[in-house]
Amino acid sequence: MPKQIRMPKLSDTMEEGRLIAWRKKVGDTVKRGEVLAEIETDKADMEFEAYTEGTVAQIVVEAGATVPVGTLIAVLRLPGEAEDAVAAVPAAEAQPQTPARVPAAPAGQAPATAPAKPVAPRAARTAAPAPTPARVELPAPPAGERVAALYAPDDDRIRATPRARRLAEERSIDLSELTGTGPHGAILVADLEAYLATLEGQTPDGDGVRATPLALRMASEQGTDLEAVKGSGPGGRITKSDLLAHWKREKAHSKEREAVMYRSTLQLSQKRKALIRNMVRSKAEAPHFYIQMDVATEALRDLRDQLNRDAGEKRPRLTYTHLMLKAAALALERHPHVNATYRAEENDIALYDAINIGLAVDVQDELVAPTVKDCQGHTVWQLAEEANSLIQRARMRKLQPADYADGTFTISNLGMFGVDRFYAIITPPQSSILSVSKIAERPVVRGGKLEIGQITTLGLSVDHRVIDGVRAAQFLGEIKRLLEEPRELAHDGNGHD
């Protein structure tokens, strides 16, 4: 069957394209992937390739013309097809076909046509002005009726004899509802008569007959309210075409309404796509619960300042982040059941050997969480060095996949952005995440007296499948204690207690 070539849609916003030049002429053979034509839209010039091998049988749109997307621009004859297989293309066929999908029509056939083999449901024909179609004479015309131009593989044109077509028009019959019993499935006058007989047999409801049997079934399957649809069929009945056109309009309207709400759309990076998958999976699979504790940070500040003073040039400058990292590492070492994951396939909880802590970092609008590996037994300075190097590489976008891999716990810090308290979403397959907020002066009650303290609020999001409330509280309490009495954060790796 010959292949119809149509003006391609190269962009969601492309409505028409200019045919700049044909690279092939009638009679030329083309291979798959060979350039057929050049098409311009906006300021882009696209080489348009053939998707099938064949011979150019007809060029419908000449170079220089601008035509709507979906317009038939050429016909290819496939290998082995006889030259006369290609009928001249009826003018109506050259009309653009909207590639928009219509809702799935019921698979059944029109009720009236008993014997014929089922044919694929045909898309609606819009009321395009129909200049007289060019015709091809078939070798064996059926009794008294000639069959109009029939061929074309992706043809959703309806085959019918001219007499049947005329009669259908007179009686406002939607040909797409019928299955033809003539040659090549063409609709004959006899098919129409059988169809009309079924319509007459329809039992009217209170308001009379509103739709054809097929349209009634399609509407009920799709839950469409027929009140909103205008009928153009016999006796004002709503037909399949009416319904399809209605659905198409509805869809176009909702698209338009949607489109005006957006200023622009952003494409997703691979990282963003992975993040979306992970976060959705986390919230869907891991039952989160949340606890928070206020932590006094004066001692932590004093320790940080003292360590930085004593360390001089040879050690990295310590920040709260580094001390939090060390505190989390120590707490995880002491609460191994927190450094664990639920495994759905095995239906068990696996305790991690290593303590690998991810640090959520924002790099030019992209969230990354490189992991500091094997935190156990490392001094705060070693952890600081490793964390600094990871963050630096993240900023330069030099992180390798291994740098993100194998995290067993994550720290997310929004303190520098003025956040008072928050709860991050757990990164699967980990089972908890620590949310660090800003350190601020707040009123605190100590020993019955109101004082001003330096306080931060730590949030812990926990996967309840792995960790219960009491254990979560003990773990977060351990971190709080380590931060409020921070001497051991500065211990050497060998001598930790």
Partner 1 sequence: METATTSGLDVRRLGRVPYAEALALQEDLRARLAAGELGDTVLLLEHPDVITFGRGAKPGSALADDDALRRGGYEVFRIGRGGDVTWHGPGQLVGYPILDLRRHGSDVHRYLRALEGVLIGALEHFGIAATRRAGYAGVWLDERRKIASIGVGIRAWRTVHGFALNVDCDLARFGAIVPCGLADVEMVSVASVLGAPVDRARIEAQVEHELRKAFG
Interface residues toward partner 1, by CB under 8 A = 10-14, 18, 20-21, 33, 35, 38, 40-47, 49, 267, 269-271, 274-275, 277-278, 358, 364, 368-369, 371, 397-401, 403-407, 410, 427
CA distance 138 to 159: 13
Q: Which is nearer to partner 1, 267 or 347 (CB)?
A: 267
The phi, psi pair for 156, rounded to 5°, reads: -105, 25
| Amino acid identity, position 146 | R
CA distance 38 to 22: 6
CA distance 120 to 105: 10
CA distance 119 to 112: 14
Residue 448 Ramachandran class (φ > 0 left, ψ -120 to 50 alpha, else beta): left
Smallest distance from the beta carbon of 20 to partner 1, in angstroms?
A: 4
The partner residues of 76 in beta bridges, in order of sequence, read 3, 56
Q: Which is nearer to partner 1, 172 or 278 (CB)?
A: 278
Smallest distance from the beta carbon of 27 to partner 1, in angstroms?
A: 24
Residue 253 appears among annotated catalytic residues: no
Among candidate residues 253, 288, 378, 464, the one labeled active-site is 464
CA distance 302 to 307: 9
Q: How many CA atoms lie within 13 A of 439 on its CB side?
A: 14
CA distance 315 to 497: 23
Q: Which is nearer to partner 1, 296 or 369 (CB)?
A: 369
Residue 12's SS3 state is coil
Tokens of 349: 């909880």
Residue 462's SS3 state is strand
Q: Which is nearer to partner 1, 5 or 124 (CB)?
A: 5
Tokens of 170: 């007179």
CA distance 197 to 365: 67
Q: Which is nearer to partner 1, 175 or 368 (CB)?
A: 368
Smallest distance from the beta carbon of 429 to partner 1, in angstroms?
A: 10
Smallest distance from the beta carbon of 8 to partner 1, in angstroms?
A: 10
Smallest distance from the beta carbon of 3 to partner 1, in angstroms?
A: 19
Q: Which is nearer to partner 1, 425 or 439 (CB)?
A: 425
CA distance 99 to 93: 14
Smallest distance from the beta carbon of 397 to partner 1, in angstroms?
A: 5
Q: Which is nearer to partner 1, 11 or 254 (CB)?
A: 11
| Amino acid identity, position 295 | V
Which DSSP category does 94 fall into?
A: G
Radius of gyration of the chain (CA): 36
Contacts for 203 with CB less than 8 Å, ≥ 6 apart: none
Helix axes 298-311, 469-484, angle to 10 degrees: 50
CA 408: distance to chain centroid? 30
Contacts for 354 with CB less than 8 Å, ≥ 6 apart: 373, 374, 376, 406, 408
Residue 125's SS3 state is coil
Smallest distance from the beta carbon of 54 to partner 1, in angstroms?
A: 19
Smallest distance from the beta carbon of 403 to partner 1, in angstroms?
A: 7
CA distance 224 to 228: 8
The secondary element (H helix, E strand) that includes residue 220 is helix 213-222
The secondary element (H helix, E strand) that includes residue 75 is strand 72-77
Smallest distance from the beta carbon of 386 to partner 1, in angstroms?
A: 16
List, by residue number, the catalytic residues. Answer: 464
